[in-house]
């Protein structure tokens, strides 16, 4: 293996984290922390691709950091920091702005969704967003990127950028001592488990998201136990009993979603959940799911609120993480600058 295995991932500090972020990404982050060198970022530069109130942004950065820690990421073991403190991200993103092609970015479905009908009014940053994401990963030459299913296309772009950079600068890369001409790895998406795409609790055809107007559509990592139970109780379902096999979930998006959530929270598979609950009505399944959510998420919400009482300590964690992140990224950026032909 030429590249040392290294994990990188991040979340935007725009509003509070929800069950989709937790099951789709964070549970895997926590797992990988046991076996890998991990770098987990609060991507504040990405957040400002859409206007953010400065004071709310500052609070959101702290709250996402508190959620990372409360959910089980250990700031001693993993590197936790906010993106804007490490200038390598913005520097490499600029270089990638000059490597990636307009046509590639034009195909990004998330830009199309976020920009909406009036694309002319979207920020340039929103368009170039995936180049910054590629820079996040490649500034550390990270090899594994645990994310939810919605980030798949962005990761394919990161792979394309890595490949094009390696190709565009092949001679300089070889001259710098990388004989196989590969300076950047092809980062692997890690999109695994029963909940890679958690859907809205109100509409099984829409992704659970921070931007959905109805708060009943999602469970936030800071919701108290009563609210969690209420949201599960009100979750949309269909009138049928649960099937005994996973095939029976097809065409039943709400049932599929709730079974996936149950499986992810218990670290099992949908088939295991159906082995227990197949043939039972939602009136029996929902209370069990609510209890499980409360058991797993209640302590996280409590810990977030405890940590938020000491913002100076959170800021200290971020500064420490940024120092450690910089120590990895700096020598890589030095090499990138040499390869591109800059003088330093």
| Binding-site ranges for ligand TYM (CB under 6 A) | 8-12, 20-21, 24-25, 43, 46, 133, 136-137, 145, 147-148, 150-151, 154, 196-198, 207-208
Contacts of 22 (CB under 8 A, 6+ apart): 71, 221, 297, 300
Give, in order, the Cα–Cα distances in Å from 27 to each of 9, 141, 142, 193, 267. 12, 23, 19, 10, 9
Q: Smallest distance, Å, CB 67 to ligand TYM?
A: 11
Which CB, 141 or 154, lies closer to ligand TYM? 154
Which CB, 21 or 166, lies closer to ligand TYM? 21
Q: Smallest distance, Å, CB 338 to ligand TYM?
A: 25
Q: Smallest distance, Å, CB 341 to ligand TYM?
A: 27
Q: What does the buried/exposed string (b/e) look like for 312-326 if buried means 16 or more CB atoms within 10 Å of the residue's CB?
A: eebeebbeebbebbb
Q: Smallest distance, Å, CB 259 to ligand TYM?
A: 15
Which CB, 178 or 324, lies closer to ligand TYM? 324
Q: Is 225 left (phi over 0), alpha (psi -120 to 50) or beta?
A: alpha
Q: Smallest distance, Å, CB 335 to ligand TYM?
A: 21
Within 13 A of 191's CA, how many CA atoms are on the CB side?
A: 17
Alpha carbon 128 to chain centroid distance? 18
37 bridge partner residues: 6
- Concatenating the DSSP letter of every residue in 230-292 gives HHHHH----SSPPPSSGGGGTT-HHHHHHHHHHHHHHT--HHHHHHHHTT--HHHHHHHHHHH
Contacts of 83 (CB under 8 A, 6+ apart): 10, 41, 42, 43, 44, 45, 46, 89, 136
Which CB, 93 or 307, lies closer to ligand TYM? 93
Q: Smallest distance, Å, CB 122 to ligand TYM?
A: 15
Which CB, 25 or 333, lies closer to ligand TYM? 25
Within 13 A of 200's CA, how many CA atoms are on the CB side?
A: 15
Q: Smallest distance, Å, CB 14 to ligand TYM?
A: 7
Active site amino acids: 114, 207, 210
Number of residue whose CB is nearest ligand TYM: 24
Within 13 A of 216's CA, how many CA atoms are on the CB side?
A: 9
Q: What does the buried/exposed string (b/e) look like for 220-251 if buried means 16 or more CB atoms within 10 Å of the residue's CB?
A: bbbbebebbbebbeebbbeeebbbeebebbee
Which CB, 153 or 181, lies closer to ligand TYM? 153
Which CB, 136 or 243, lies closer to ligand TYM? 136
Within 13 A of 16's CA, how many CA atoms are on the CB side?
A: 16
């Amino acid at each position: 293996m030429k590249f040392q295995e290294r994990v990188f991932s991040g979340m935007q500090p725009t509003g509070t984290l929800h069950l989709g972020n937790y099951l789709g990404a964070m549970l895997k982050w926590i797992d990988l922390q046991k076996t890998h060198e991990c770098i987990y970022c609060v991507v504040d530069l990405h957040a400002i691709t859409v206007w953010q109130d400065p004071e709310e942004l500052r609070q959101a950065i702290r709250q996402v950091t508190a959620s990372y820690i409360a959910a089980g990421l250990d700031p001693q073991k993993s590197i936790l920091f906010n993106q804007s403190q490490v200038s390598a991200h913005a520097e490499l993103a600029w270089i990638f702005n000059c490597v990636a092609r307009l046509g590639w970015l034009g195909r990004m479905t998330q830009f199309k969704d976020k920009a909406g009908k009036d694309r002319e009014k979207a920020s340039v940053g929103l368009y170039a967003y995936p180049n910054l994401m590629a820079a996040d990963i490649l500034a550390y030459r990270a090899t594994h990127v645990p994310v939810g299913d919605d980030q798949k296309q962005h990761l394919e772009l990161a792979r394309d950028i890595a490949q094009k950079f390696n190709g565009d600068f092949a001679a300089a890369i070889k001259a710098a001592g990388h004989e196989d001409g590969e300076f950047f790895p092809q980062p692997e998406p890690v999109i695994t488990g029963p909940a890679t795409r958690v859907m809205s609790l109100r509409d099984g055809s829409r992704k659970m998201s921070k931007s959905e107007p109805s708060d009943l559509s999602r469970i936030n990592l800071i919701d108290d136990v009563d609210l969690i139970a209420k949201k599960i109780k009100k979750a949309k379902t269909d009138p049928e009993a649960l099937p005994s096999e996973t095939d029976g979930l097809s065409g039943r998006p709400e049932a599929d979603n709730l079974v996936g959530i149950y499986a992810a929270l218990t670290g099992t598979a949908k088939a295991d959940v159906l082995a227990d609950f197949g043939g039972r009505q939602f009136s029996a399944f929902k209370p069990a799911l609510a209890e499980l959510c409360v058991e797993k998420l209640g302590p996280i919400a409590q810990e977030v609120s405890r940590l938020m009482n000491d913002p100076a300590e959170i800021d200290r964690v971020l500064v420490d993480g940024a120092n450690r992140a910089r120590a990895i990224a700096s020598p890589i950026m030095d090499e990138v600058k040499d390869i591109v032909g800059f003088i330093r």
